Amino acid sequence: MIVLQELPSSFVEHLGFRRFCASLNPYFRVVSRTTIKGDCLAAYQEQKLALLEVLRKTNSRVSLTADMWSSNQNLGYMCITCHFIDNEWNMQKRIIRFTQVRTPHDSIALFNEIIKCIQDWQIESKLFSITVDNASTNDSMVVELKGNLLGKLAMPCKGELFHFWCAAHIFNPIVQDGLSTISAAISRIRESVKYVRASEAREQKFEEIIAQVGIVEEKRPSLDVSTRWNSTYLMLSSSLLFRRAFDSLDRFDPNFKDAPQFFDWENAEVLCKHLKVFYDATVVVSGTSYPTVTRYFHEFWKVKVMILNESNNEDDLVASLVSKMDTKFQKYWDLQFLQIWVPVIFDPRFKLKFLEFRLKAGFGDKATGPNGYLPRIKRTVRTWFAEYSSQICGPSTTNSQEASTSGVNLHQSLHFLLDKESLATIGVGWLVELWRHWFAFKIGCEPMVLVIHIQFKLIRLRAMMLICNYWDIKSFDISGKLPCEFYAIWVLRNFASSGAVVSGACFVSQLISVFPTHVRLHPKFVRCIGNLVEPGISGLLFCR
């Protein structure tokens, strides 16, 4: 109970708790706070040994997410979470380190904490990737970490797929540029919402106006938290529904000053249309019950399509907005395209042919040229496959396996399959062009349509069938181990606290704050609290 409810160890010494225990059993002796803390730490050590054994026996590599947290005492903490697919193909997560980081919080200090954690958990030879935010300090730290692991020959693909940027930290700067474009309009709408919610009398008057203008909506305009852009988006979208009510309030209430004007509402409507794409994308990639890395590409592509569609818009506001978004989007795209695209190849609904279609449609020659996106993706997959062939089949069969891989065109061995869930993921707007592209390739190649990963037939994935279950059922040898590495990757940094994702934290750019009740605890005990919660209860620690 102490761990599950995150209670202080002194709770066992509270008079009310002791009386409660005495009423249940007068002969029961309640232990002291020191004893209960020691019991929790002992239980943590026991589970740590069990987890070490699980990590040792698991066939897949592990991925890490690392993030800096702050506290109300201006202390810095690092939270490191380990993600992996176990031998039963279940997604697993564990907080393996939560520690105070002494100043300065530079790349060397962060590197020392992470390498200490990696060595403590004996996962140097099993580390696949790390997800951090896009701060320059983290970039330098990852370079140091990659160099350290490459020197020990402990990294696949020469580390090309090692560094993942937090998806939220890619979306947030793009969104902030959009918000700054109409900051004055947002401020007026925010003040209007504050005005009508400032007193019960104003709320009643606003309700009367809503009834008079004939607005039928259950929800009312919500206030935002200026540091969380999702709340600003929700405030704007909810306020737009009551635009006529605010206009009427401006006419009849002399105390209502600086009301939003016509152009403010128009600009807010344009911005909401664009922010919805980022909002939906962030919600999808922040999921906890499915491999988010397989959804990353599709959500990123929706942003790309939105920018592409609006690039020739004659509206000055839209043109300015899209121009800023496109500059930053292309920067992140070029730096992370391998991490974004390679997982799609191992999604049994899409595969390489689908990826080729998307790249040609979005980038043309830049995608298919000698140094384009597509050749680099193919080279990475082939290199990755050859490395695993060497590990599984041994050096004697590596050359023949690699020759077989190069002899079979990846276009012919990696196909995709569309079902309702796939259409919901990619959208139906591209379906006609996609079919035309696919069938142009399949003319005269009918046997290839039923081929997946060289010789295995395609099977339809039902809506409730997990991707991990597909690979588990098919029991692939080498090619089945490749997606196992990717599916464990968490594309967001550690937006979590003791089993629950911090509400709205994935929409915030600054550091997450440690709960005030946790600041008084030793970091070892906080880490203990985060890991001892029963897996079935805590979605953070044990996701299936």
Give tens-digit pLDDT for 301-310: 888 888 888 8
Task: Assess whether 254 and 189 both reside in one domain.
Answer: yes
d(CA 497, CA 394): 43
Q: What is the mean pLDDT of residues 514-534?
A: 54
Tokens 């890490």 -> residue: 64
Task: Assess whether 362 and 221 both reside in one domain.
Answer: no
- What is the token pair recorded at 244? 């006529």
Q: For residue 81, which phi and psi values (nearest 5 degrees)?
A: -120, 140
Lowest mean pLDDT segment, chosen from 94-103, 166-175, 452-461? 452-461
Contact 347, 467 (CB under 8 A): yes
- DSSP-derived secondary structure for 467-533: HHHHHHHHT-SSTTHHHHHHHT--SS---EETTEEPTTGGG--SPEEPPHHHHTS-HHHHHHHHHHS
Task: Assess whether 379 and 403 both reside in one domain.
Answer: yes
Q: How far is CA 147 from the centre of its chain?
A: 26
C-alpha to C-alpha distances, 166 to 163, 170, 336, 494, nearest whole angstrom: 10, 7, 11, 9
Task: Assess whether 155 and 186 both reside in one domain.
Answer: no
Task: Assess whether 194 and 82 both reside in one domain.
Answer: no
- What is the token pair recorded at 209? 């106006």
Task: Assess whether 479 and 358 both reside in one domain.
Answer: yes
pLDDT confidence tier of residue 135, bands split at 50, 70 and 90: confident
Q: Comparing C-alpha atoms, which of 436, 389, 433, 441 is closest to residue 415?
A: 441
Task: Assess whether 111 and 216 both reside in one domain.
Answer: no
Task: Assess whether 388 and 479 both reside in one domain.
Answer: yes
**Position 494 in a domain:** no
- What is the token pair recorded at 18? 């002791």
Q: Give every CB contact of residue 326 below 8 A, 6+ residues apart in sequence.
A: 307, 311
Task: Assess whether 181 and 161 both reside in one domain.
Answer: no
- What is the token pair recorded at 216? 């039928």
Characterize 276-308 residue by residue with b for buried, 16 or more Cβ atoms within 10 angstroms of its Cβ, and e for exposed. Answer: ebbbebbebbbebebbbbbbbbbbbbbbbbbbe
Lowest mean pLDDT segment, chosen from 45-49, 126-130, 136-140, 184-188? 45-49
| pLDDT score of 21 more than 70 | yes
Task: Assess whether 396 and 417 both reside in one domain.
Answer: yes
**Position 27 in a domain:** no
Of 486, 505, 523, which residue is a domain's last? 486
Q: Which residue has the higher pLDDT, 381 or 206?
A: 206
Contact 493, 83 (CB under 8 A): no
Q: Are strands 76-85 and 62-70 parallel, antiparallel or unpaired?
A: antiparallel
Q: Give every CB contact of residue 126 below 8 A, 6+ residues apart in sequence.
A: 55, 58, 61, 62
pLDDT digit string, tens, across residues 47-65: 889 889 999 988 888 999 9
d(CA 498, CA 98): 11
**Position 329 in a domain:** no
| pLDDT score of 311 more than 90 | no
d(CA 534, CA 544): 14
**Position 544 in a domain:** no
d(CA 136, CA 175): 20
Task: Assess whether 347 and 392 both reside in one domain.
Answer: yes
**Position 389 in a domain:** yes
Of 246, 278, 310, which residue is a domain's last? 278
C-alpha to C-alpha distances, 419 to 145, 257, 303, 349, nearest whole angstrom: 41, 53, 22, 8
Helix (H, G, I), strand (E, B), or coil: what is residue 441?
helix
Report how many domains make up the chain. Answer: 3
- What is the token pair recorded at 393? 């089949």
Amino acid at 173: P
Amino acid at 464: M
**Position 427 in a domain:** yes
Q: Give every CB contact of residue 283 below 8 A, 6+ residues apart in sequence.
A: none
Q: Which residue has the higher pLDDT, 471 or 485?
A: 485
pLDDT for the residue 214: 92
Q: What is the CATH number of the domain that holds 108?
A: 3.30.420
Of 228, 256, 278, which residue is a domain's last? 278
Task: Assess whether 364 and 433 both reside in one domain.
Answer: yes
In which domain, by residue range, is 272 found?
176-278
